[in-house]
């Protein structure tokens, strides 16, 4: 196939990679509807995808990934810089020389009898000065069809790239899908990504975590902007004004849900409406007004399926009724899909995510329930199908951010919401996020770990410098967003959530906006400003008596232990940790007495 571009660098690189991997043919992806149809048909014919019920789920497909390949592989993810110190204690490091050698060894000849697809893509609207162009090479149709949803792809991107434009080189190959030959490598100094041996989500859709977070965070530091693991949503207030919030929560901790929440009845009556800008990634920069502005560089959602239903997330349910790809969920006999916590009755039988017959109540040899869907099973759907999509999605300028939220999954300690004293304290609050591990990463679910700014798996450089970058951005901002911490996941003695969460979280966001506009006072505590319980609107909520007080309590004894743990955590960064972070750490200690 003749390359549909005159970009010499791109053509040379595609030739070089084809020489290495030996595909039977090279196909340039143009992004057209005909091409989509052709690829879908081919993937269905080989079993890579299954057609779903065209009446109930038009344009939808089902995919099962290898059972050893169902979540991001953090232990196989590396930052390959010349100096190890550039990667920092937060990343796995490999020298670029070794990285290329290892990946080449695995990729060499691995695409025989396969097709190499060339996907030009833009993160951010095509042609915006805030967007970045990448080109992903892959031997997976599943990856092509997912990238088609998650990014802007095809000829329009090549046109914009032109004969001399630069792009991030994103090389992906499934190879044998062998966990022992799997590597996700980032070469920020070369603006390149090599991913081999995985076909799943964040490991394989290279525009997402690899480019839009790891490489982009590296570029952002150099160029003076920020790439963050954040949702963006607009809250339309009763007076018609829309204010935008960005929020960083670790993987599977509620970003998709918050980004498209449906207001509870009492707040809807007041006049609140929600507008979704993004659910996973925010690129933010300081604009000429001295404020912080954000765009969502993605074009789709790659969202957690389990728990998604018409009650918890009605907008997501409506978004995924057509033109969506379902990965590792359960398949019903009528060729529709199911997962734990889906709408409707539990099916009497289904084929589970591993491809085995499944019935409710089945247990494995150890007596543990066998799941129908993998806990990290996901849907891929175009953001344009979301009923709450923001009208500013395609605007190159993005949206102005009034408040930043940090949060995690914490059964104890962290109150429902608190506000930091100022920007640097807010940075400290973000830097000390802790959360129970979820199924989105391989490893032990439930273990509490520190996940600064929800970026631990995604920061493409030394986290000490990342903290400093946050502090420096604060110095440059004339209009600083206020920074808050939220926790929807506090539980009682029996492990039940104290706060109803989901749409009801708007009650907390209302307080956040009221604080931004200095409409309500707050209680000053050692950890920050907490709401006076009367300032959280609980109309129609039926919270048991005392629950809100419990949610808004600060246990000084427990927080002293927490502060101790912060100190231990920060020591790993040695002398490179910014003084401003140490200062906040000591101030917290002093306030706790
Ligand atoms: P990534 O896509 O992995 O980055 O995750 P995310 O942060 O977008 O997570 P998502 O919104 O998909 O939520 C993951 C899980 O958290 C789902 O099982 C949800 O049902 C649950 N969840 C989301 N919001 C809430 C909430 O307010 N309260 C409670 N209790 N659970 C929630
Ligand atoms: C996450 O794990 O934070 C995700 C899913 O958003 S993945 O794209 O697989 O990284
Ligand atoms: Mn994510």
Note the pTM of the prediction, 2 decimals.
0.97
CA of 213 to the centre of ligand 3 (A): 10
Integer Cα distance of 479 and 481 in angstroms: 7
Q: Which CATH architecture has domain 228-296+393-591?
A: Alpha-Beta Complex (3.90)
pLDDT (0 to 100) of residue 237: 97
CA distance 136 to 134: 6
Ligand 2, atom 5: closest residue by C-alpha? 202
Pocket test for ligand 2, best of 203, 256, 302, 455 (most atoms within 8 A of CB): 302
CATH number of 8-30+73-223: 3.40.449.10
Q: Is 280 in the pocket of ligand 2 (CB under 6 A)?
A: yes
Please write the tens of the pLDDT for every residue from 74-123.
999 999 999 999 999 999 999 999 999 999 999 999 999 999 999 999 99
Question: Of how many residues is the chain composed?
Answer: 593
Angle at 187 between CA 184 and CA 191, to 5 degrees: 120
Per annotation, catalytic residue among 170, 253, 386, 459: 253
Asked if pLDDT for residue 444 goes beyond 80, the answer is: no
- Does pLDDT of 438 surpass 80? no
Q: What is the pLDDT of residues 220-252, one digit of tens each?
A: 999 999 999 999 999 999 999 999 999 999 999
Span 552-568, mean pLDDT? 96
State the number of CA atoms in the 13 A half-sphere of 459 facing the CB.
25
Place of tokens 């957690």: 304
358 forms beta bridges with 350
Q: How far is the CA of 131 from the centre of ligand 2 (A)?
A: 21
CA–CA dist 223, 439 (Å, integer): 34
Which residues have CB under 8 Å from 247's CB, separation 6+?
Answer: 230, 231, 233, 255, 258, 404, 405, 406, 407, 486
Over residues 57-68, the pLDDT tens digits come to 999 999 999 999
pLDDT of residue 395: 84
The whole-number average pLDDT for the span 362-390 is 97
Per-residue confidence band for 447, with pLDDT thresholds at 50, 70 and 90: confident
The per-residue DSSP string of 3-49 comes to: -S---HHHHHHHHHHHHHH--SEEEE----HHHHHHHHHHHHHHTSS
Strand segments (E) across 334-424: 337-338, 350-351, 357-358, 378-382, 399-407, 417-419
The region of weakest confidence among 19-23, 393-397, 581-585 is 393-397
Query: Tokens representing 529?
Result: 């400003």
pLDDT of amino acid 440: 73
CA 127–ligand 3 middle distance (angstroms): 25
Indicate whether residue 251 lines ligand 2 (CB < 6 A). Answer: yes
**pLDDT band at 207; cut points 50, 70, 90:** very high
CA angle 87, 105, 13 (to 5 degrees): 75
Per-domain boundaries in the chain = 8-30+73-223, 49-63+298-387, 228-296+393-591
Q: What is the rounded average pLDDT of the residues 402-427? A: 97
Residue 170 appears among annotated catalytic residues:
no
Taking 80 as the threshold, does the pLDDT of residue 593 lie above it? yes
| All residues at 6 or more sequence positions from 579 whose CB lies less than 8 Å from its CB, including other chains | none
Identify the CATH class of 49-63+298-387.
mainly beta
390-414 pLDDT tens trace: 999 988 889 999 999 999 999 999 9
> What confidence tens digit (pLDDT) does each residue in 532-548 have?
999 999 999 999 999 99
Confidence class for position 1, pLDDT limits 50, 70, 90: confident
**443 has pLDDT over 80:** no
Chain segment 286-331, per-residue pLDDT in tens: 999 999 999 999 999 999 999 999 999 999 999 999 999 999 999 9
Closest listed residue to residue 172, CA positions, set 213, 134, 139: 139
What is the phi/psi pair of residue 404, to 5°?
-115, 135
| One-character DSSP codes across 441-506 | BSS-TT-EEE-GGG-TTT--S-HHHHHHHHHHHHHH-SSPPEEEEE-S--B-TTS-BSS--GGGGH
């Amino acid at each position: 196939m003749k390359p549909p571009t005159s970009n010499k660098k791109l053509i040379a690189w595609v030739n070089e990679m084809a020489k290495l991997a030996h595909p039977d043919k090279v196909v340039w992806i143009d992004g057209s509807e005909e091409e989509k149809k052709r690829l879908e048909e081919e993937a269905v014919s080989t079993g890579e995808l299954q057609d779903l019920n065209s009446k109930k789920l038009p344009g939808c497909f089902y995919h099962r990934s290898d059972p050893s390949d169902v979540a991001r592989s953090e232990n196989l993810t590396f930052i390959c810089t010349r100096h190890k110190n550039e990667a920092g204690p937060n990343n796995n490091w490999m020298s670029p020389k070794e990285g290329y050698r290892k990946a080449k060894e695995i990729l060499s000849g691995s695409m025989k009898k396969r097709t190499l697809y060339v996907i030009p893509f833009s993160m951010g609207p095509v042609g915006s000065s805030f967007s970045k162009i990448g080109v992903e090479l892959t031997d997976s149709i599943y990856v092509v069809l997912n990238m088609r949803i998650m990014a802007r792809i095809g000829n329009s991107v090549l046109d914009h790239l032109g004969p001399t434009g630069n792009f991030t080189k994103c090389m992906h190959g499934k190879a044998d899908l062998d966990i022992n030959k799997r590597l996700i490598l980032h070469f920020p100094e070369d603006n390149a990504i090599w991913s081999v041996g995985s076909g799943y989500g964040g490991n394989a859709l290279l525009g997402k975590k690899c480019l839009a977070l790891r490489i982009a965070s590296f570029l952002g530091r150099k160029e003076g902007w920020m790439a963050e693991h954040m949702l963006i949503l607009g809250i339309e207030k009763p007076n018609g004004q829309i204010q935008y919030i960005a929020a960083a929560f670790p993987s599977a901790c509620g970003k998709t849900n918050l980004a498209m929440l449906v207001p509870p009845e009492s707040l809807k009556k007041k006049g609140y409406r929600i507008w979704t800008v993004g659910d996973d990634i925010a690129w933010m920069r300081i604009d000429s007004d001295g404020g912080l502005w954000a765009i969502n560089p993605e074009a789709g959602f790659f969202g957690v399926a389990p728990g998604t239903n018409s009650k918890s997330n009605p907008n997501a349910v409506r978004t995924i009724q057509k033109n969506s790809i379902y990965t590792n969920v359960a398949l019903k006999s009528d060729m529709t899909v199911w997962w734990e916590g889906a709408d409707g009755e539990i099916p009497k039988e289904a084929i589970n995510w591993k491809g085995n017959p499944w019935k409710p109540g089945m247990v494995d040899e150890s007596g543990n329930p066998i799941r129908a869907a993998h806990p990290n099973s996901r849907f891929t759907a175009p953001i344009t199908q979301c009923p709450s999509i923001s009208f500013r999605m395609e605007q190159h300028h993005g949206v102005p951010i009034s408040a930043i939220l940090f949060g995690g999954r914490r059964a104890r300690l962290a109150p429902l919401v608190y506000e930091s004293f100022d920007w640097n304290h807010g940075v400290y609050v973000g830097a000390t996020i802790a959360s129970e591990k979820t199924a989105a990463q391989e490893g032990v679910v439930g273990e509490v770990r520190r996940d600064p700014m929800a970026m631990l798996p995604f920061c493409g450089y030394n986290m000490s410098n990342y903290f400093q970058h946050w502090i420096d951005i604060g110095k440059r901002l004339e209009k600083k967003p206020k920074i808050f911490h939220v926790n929807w996941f506090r539980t009682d003695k029996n492990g039940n959530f104290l706060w109803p969460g989901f749409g009801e979280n708007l009650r907390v966001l209302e307080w956040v906006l009221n604080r931004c506009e200095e409409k309500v006072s707050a209680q000053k505590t050692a950890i920050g400003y907490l709401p006076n319980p009367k300032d959280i609107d609980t109309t129609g909520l039926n919270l048991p008596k005392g629950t809100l007080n419990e949610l808004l309590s600060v246990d000084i004894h427990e927080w002293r232990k927490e502060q101790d743990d912060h100190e231990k955590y920060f020591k790993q960064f040695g002398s490179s940790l910014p003084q401003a972070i140490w200062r906040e750490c000591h101030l917290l200690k002093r306030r706790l007495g």
